[in-house]
A and B are shown apart, each in its own frame.
Chain A
Amino acid sequence: MIQAVPPASMEAMETSVSNFAPLEGGLQPEPALLEVRDLTTKFYTVDGVVNALNGISYSVRKGECLAIVGESGSGKTVGVLSILRLIQSPPGKIVGGSISFKGTDLLKLDDNALRDIRGGAISVIFQDPMTSLNPVMRVGAQITENIMAHEALTRRQARDKAIEMLSRVGIPTPAKRVDDYPHQFSGGMRQRVMIAMALSCSPQLIIADEPTTALDVTIQAQIVELVKKLQSELGTAVIWISHDLGVVARLADRVAVMYAGHIVESAPVDELYARPAHPYTIGLLNSLPRLDAKVKTKLQAIGGLPPNLLGELRGCPFAPRCAFATDICRAQNPALLEVTPSHGVACWHDRLTGGRA
């Protein structure tokens, strides 16, 4: 087994990943489109400080699909909404890190410059298409509003473009539907409207926050195939947030697994499913029944509960539920390090190399 730990001292690696080289592994020479470093977001609530995001780092390359997987409370949504500073503030606050998009740190932009990016170079598709569209505004107006914020078009031209976008996402008779209100669309069609809106200013990056979770499976399949098709046609990079490891397998190029506000594992999609290294990732995969399982094998549930993020955590956040946990796990949080090229794991005893502890 190859010991892939860089020769950095243990002290330097404690809870921070700032010294740690990016995970690209030299596969592509192109610089990353989005480079998130040490992003830390906290929520200041009446009960205390919730450590929602504890210094996560990842990058997205041009045209690729990065899936961020995690359960509720893992910080996956906070992690991506922080990119555009879309978290509710107060109580949320980004307290540290950097988000470099094509070389510009988004956290240092003033409001005007940030607005140029929002809906322009980076757009968002939200989880629930029922609540994410304004109920008293025609869908056409909601799309043209996005277009006119970024492009010097007349109302007429923006409307034509909105119709073109609706047709592109597969809405029948778009010239007629453009004047309908959201409630006149089904859930799947509303999500198509959201996608049309997100694509309307030819973004280089789309953040998709669980866009199919609220939809039925046959509609989910339609939306997943639509996004796949549009992504390959337009070459847009996508960050796809999901808790569904099946959808991720279908869609992603790379996967980052989150737990308790940390990225615990990150790898190309085939590698992650074939050779998961973090006990949490392994647990997650083993707790899923497979649709094509001909022989029934008992589900391996992960015992216990995710930690409460109120207040500081000591050690590895997964240690209380982990079968491999030792004293070091309970004392120090392991950094996310490459165990094999482009496969990063934050674990003292990862299952691929046997661990660094």
Chain B
Amino acid sequence: MSYVIRRVLQSVVVVFGVSIVAFFMLFMTGDPTEIILGDGADHMTVQQIEEFRVKMGFDRPWYIQYASFVGNAVRGDFGYSFTRHQPAFQVIIEKMPATIQLASIAFVLSLLISIPLGVLSAINPHKPIDRISTFVALLGQSIPSFWLSILLMLLFGVKLKWLPISGSGTWQHLVMPAIALAAFPIARNMRLTRSSMLDFMQKDFVRTARAKGISEYRVVTSHVLRNSLLPIVTAIGLEAGFLLGGSVIIETIFGWPGVGREIVQAIGSKDFYVVQAGVITLALIFAVVNLIIDLAYSWIDPRIGFGS
């Protein structure tokens, strides 16, 4: 049980760290008062600017500001978005379903393709299936996702006109962003599955399994694959972060109305409260997913006990 508590505490520390970064982001870019007021400051008197500064609390020492920032944040109050004219947190929450939809489809897609391909490669090393999937994986890992996105748009959207280029609403809108987002995890997980499988196939206990006279299918599934999943599960935990982070670019390119695009727009309009709310919410989701994966890990691998 103490393992669970320790992992939860670690996650809290991570989110706390992200909150510090998100908070000081506002200061690192200059005087927050002027950033928020932007061009509007030109039309204000010095006194009006000072009044605004006091009203926003930017005149207080940084640690007091930070304390009140954290205090408000835990209650879901990240300030008021002056471009959307609603609470910043609400802006993010409203965009969340779209992001989660895209990320989870990409996630499922990546697992459904990468693990079977990795297994097939590993049990047929240096055969055509292995060579083809290794080549595809190489492409998937080396092509930047924004470039892949543009290629997909040109091919399926502009030339073949099979799929809508951007926006949301139908399942067709999801196809290209999901593929673009999943390409890298597919490639990486496939290679990971393959190498992990090949590694475990050399293990003594696999030889023991063969010596028992069980079918080769059983040897591969219940002995090799089951053990190979351990490193893959760890990678999947990190993938959640990648999918959430990667969605910033993909959502922007495909005009997908999610948190990522919202953050990019908010940066453009210097709507810092929305940026902070978005970053911290994504960090929180990332930490929770990782926590779940870690607990799942100790469930798959009996050697990692909750007790010890």
Contacts and interface: CB of A to CB of B under 8 A. Distances in A.
Please determine if A and B sit in direct contact within the complex, based on CB atoms under 8 angstroms apart: yes
Contacts of A119: 211-214
Interface string A107-127: 000010001111110011010
B226 A86 contact: no
B236 to A, nearest CB: 17
Contacts of A124: 208, 211
Contacts of B301: 135-136
A136 B229 CA distance: 11
A86 B207 contact: yes
Contacts of B227: 134-136
Contacts of B269: none
Contact of A149 (B203, B204, B205, B212): B212
B187 to A, nearest CB: 27
Given A115-B213, A183-B303, A131 B204 contact: yes
Nearest to B203: A131
Interface in A129-146: 131-137, 145-146
Interface stretch (B25-33, B46-54, B215-223, B272-280): B215-223
A43 B302 CA distance: 37
With a 10 A CB-CB cut-off, give which of A86, A124, A128, A134 has the most chain B CB atoms: A134
B300 A136 contact: yes
B204 A118 contact: no
A41 to B, nearest CB: 16
A131 B205 contact: yes
Contact of B215 (A115, A132, A137): A115
A238 to B, nearest CB: 15
Nearest to B224: A134
A149 to B, nearest CB: 5
A88 interface: yes
A146 B213 contact: yes
19 contacts: A115-B213, A115-B214, A118-B213, A119-B212, A119-B213, A124-B211, A132-B207, A134-B208, A134-B209, A135-B205, A135-B227, A135-B302, A136-B301, A145-B209, A145-B214, A145-B222, A146-B212, A150-B213, A183-B302
Q: How large is the interface on B (under 10, 10 to 19, 20 to 34, 35 or more residues)?
A: 20 to 34
A120 B211 CA distance: 9
Interface residues of A, number: 29
Contacts of A131: 203-205
Contacts of A197: 212
Interface in B213-264: 213-216, 218, 222-223, 226-227, 230
Interface of B, helix, strand, loop or mixed by DSSP: helix
Given A135-B303, A181-B303, A126 B215 contact: no
Contacts of B211: 84, 86, 118-119, 123-124, 126
B148 to A, nearest CB: 36
A189 to B, nearest CB: 16
Contact of B213 (A116, A137, A194): A116
A51 to B, nearest CB: 22
Interface in A66-111: 84, 86, 88, 111
Contacts of B173: none
B202 interface: yes
Given A86-B207, A131-B203, A132-B204, A137 B212 contact: no
B212 A145 contact: yes
Interface of A: 84, 86, 88, 111, 115-120, 123-124, 126, 128, 131-137, 145-146, 149-150, 181, 183, 194, 197
Interface of B: 202-205, 207-216, 218, 222-223, 226-227, 230, 300-303
Contacts of B203: 131
A120 B303 contact: no
A145 B213 CA distance: 9
Contacts of B303: 135-136, 181, 183
Contact of B208 (A115, A132, A150, A181): A132
Contacts of A150: 213
A145 B206 CA distance: 13
Q: Which 9 A-B pairs have the closest CB atoms?
A: A119-B213, A118-B213, A119-B212, A131-B204, A146-B212, A124-B211, A115-B213, A181-B302, A134-B205
Nearest to B218: A145
Contacts of B226: 134, 136-137
Contacts of B214: 115, 119, 145-146, 149
Contacts of A86: 207, 210-211
A128 B227 CA distance: 18
With a 10 A CB-CB cut-off, give which of B204, B226, B300 has the most chain A CB atoms: B204
A82 to B, nearest CB: 13
A120 B213 contact: yes
B302 A136 contact: yes
Contacts of B302: 135-136, 181, 183
B230 to A, nearest CB: 8
